[in-house]
Copies of this chain bind each other. A is one copy, B any other.
């Protein structure tokens, strides 16, 4: 059973109290604190020999990435990140490696003003090398500003930040900047009907947004910002870009372009259509998930 099937089996059975404003299935859960604001919470793992090659990756950037990929989840909700908790399992006797990992995490925390306020440290079973790290990120968002995957409306313009593709091979999956400031700007300006971060690839994450919004994401392939060292296929299929994908009402798109003061590129790549709900299509309606699954390279 893969993750998706497992979650399909588990999630419907999980009872959520009324103090859960938004449960599993978005970039963060949103918890009702009984005040005007919501608490955002998400957890993500980084595992050596699964998510990075320990022999070629310096521990400092691994520690930083662990935090940054979680910050990207807060960014996608339009929230402010504040606190993090770390769980680390390792047998390494290499103190230098461990301390560098922590230094990377600590430096990233300081840069983004995150308090690393709790943690747990354990051994792995005897003979197992490497490390299993998980980080829980906590943040705050105003109830009326929160951006979810659902909420895209027919006619919305679909935007993406930055450029996409070849993140893993190029090392950008380690050096990327989470789009916290951009996400917060989009939320506080009330520009956005729906938002998601691109962690598993544009096509997959666009489809998640489409499914959550019960609408179609139409992409104009020629408009997609592709990294100089990547192909269009990589821009569509590769994960780990950590850019934001979001939907803006047509009458706000021009204002957004004018007000966008970030160095980060802002590109419109399509629009929201009614049909087919839950799918990602080309302008002529062709199912792009199907086309690129078949290995067809545009």
Contacts and interface: CB of A to CB of B under 8 A. Distances in A.
Contact of A43 (B17, B24, B51, B119): B119
A17 to B, nearest CB: 5
A119 B41 CA distance: 10
A47 interface: yes
A107 to B, nearest CB: 10
- Complex copy number for this chain: 2
Contacts of A93: 1
14 contacts: A1-B95, A3-B121, A6-B95, A13-B106, A24-B116, A24-B119, A41-B85, A41-B118, A44-B87, A44-B120, A45-B87, A49-B125, A50-B125, A124-B132
A255 interface: no
Contact of A89 (B86, B117, B120, B132): B132
Interface in A6-44: 6-7, 9-10, 13-17, 19-20, 23-24, 28-29, 31, 33-35, 37, 39, 41-44
A45 B120 contact: yes
Nearest to A132: B132
B118 A42 contact: yes
Contact of A136 (B17, B20, B123, B136): B136
A98 interface: yes
Contacts of A109: 14-15
A49 B138 CA distance: 30
